Amino acid sequence: MIDVDLIKRALAEDLEGGEDLTSVSTIQSDAVSTADFTARKAGVLAGIDMVKATLQEVGLSDITVTKSDGDLIEAGDVLLTVTGNTRAILLAERTALNFLGHLSGIASLTAQWVSAVAGTDCKVRDTRKTTPGYRQLEKYAVRMGGGTNHRMSLSDAALIKDNHIAAAGGVSQAFSAVRNAFPSAAIEIEVDDFEQLREVLPLKPDLILLDNMSPTQCREAVAIVAGATKIEASGGIALENARAYAETGVDYIAIGALTHSAPVLDIGLDLRAE
Number of domains in the chain: 2
Distance CA 253, CA 17 (A): 45
265 CB contacts (<8 Å, ≥6 apart)?
Answer: 39, 41, 43, 100, 101, 104, 105, 108
| DSSP H or E stretch at residue 271 | strand 267-271
Active-site residue identified among 67, 123, 135, 161:
161
* Contact present, 164 and 194 (Cβ < 8 Å): no
Query: Could you confirm whether 41 is annotated as catalytic?
Result: no
Q: Which domain holds residue 267?
A: 4-113+262-271
Q: Is the pLDDT of residue 266 over 90?
A: yes
Q: In this structure, are 173 and 191 located in the same domain? A: yes
Q: Is the pLDDT of residue 102 over 70?
A: yes
Tens-digit pLDDT profile for residues 26-71: 999 999 999 999 999 999 999 999 999 999 999 999 999 999 999 9
Distance CA 134, CA 165 (A): 30
Mean of all residue pLDDT scores within the chain: 97
Q: In this structure, are 167 and 61 located in the same domain? A: no
The CATH number linked to 172 is: 3.20.20.70
* Residue 31 CB neighbour total at 10 angstroms: 13
Average pLDDT of the residues in 146-175: 94
Average pLDDT of the residues in 114-123: 98
Q: In this structure, are 145 and 192 located in the same domain? A: yes
Tens-digit pLDDT profile for residues 200-212: 999 999 999 999 9
Q: In this structure, are 82 and 145 located in the same domain? A: no
Query: Could you confirm whether 8 is annotated as catalytic?
Result: no
What pLDDT is recorded for position 258?
A: 98
Active-site residue identified among 3, 49, 69, 190:
190
What pLDDT is recorded for position 256?
A: 97
Q: In this structure, are 247 and 163 located in the same domain? A: yes
Q: In this structure, are 102 and 223 located in the same domain? A: no
Active-site residue identified among 67, 94, 151, 219:
94
Q: In this structure, are 63 and 24 located in the same domain? A: yes
* Residue 4 CB neighbour total at 10 angstroms: 12
| DSSP H or E stretch at residue 19 | none
Query: Could you confirm whether 272 is annotated as catalytic?
Result: no
Q: In this structure, are 137 and 102 located in the same domain? A: no
Query: Could you confirm whether 30 is annotated as catalytic?
Result: no
Q: In this structure, are 98 and 32 located in the same domain? A: yes
Active-site residue identified among 123, 129, 135, 179:
129
273/219: higher pLDDT:
219
Using CA atoms, how far residue 147 sits from 57, 91, 121, 128, in Å, is 30, 33, 13, 14
Average pLDDT of the residues in 168-185: 94
Query: Could you confirm whether 139 is annotated as catalytic?
Result: no
pTM reported for the whole predicted model: 0.95
Q: In this structure, are 132 and 37 located in the same domain? A: no
- Report percent pLDDT > 90 for the chain: 98
The CATH number linked to 57 is: 3.90.1170.20
Q: In this structure, are 77 and 174 located in the same domain? A: no
Q: In this structure, are 43 and 56 located in the same domain? A: yes
Confidence label for 257 from pLDDT (cuts 50, 70 and 90): very high
Tens-digit pLDDT profile for residues 67-99: 999 999 999 999 999 999 999 999 999 999 999
Q: Is the pLDDT of residue 274 over 70?
A: no
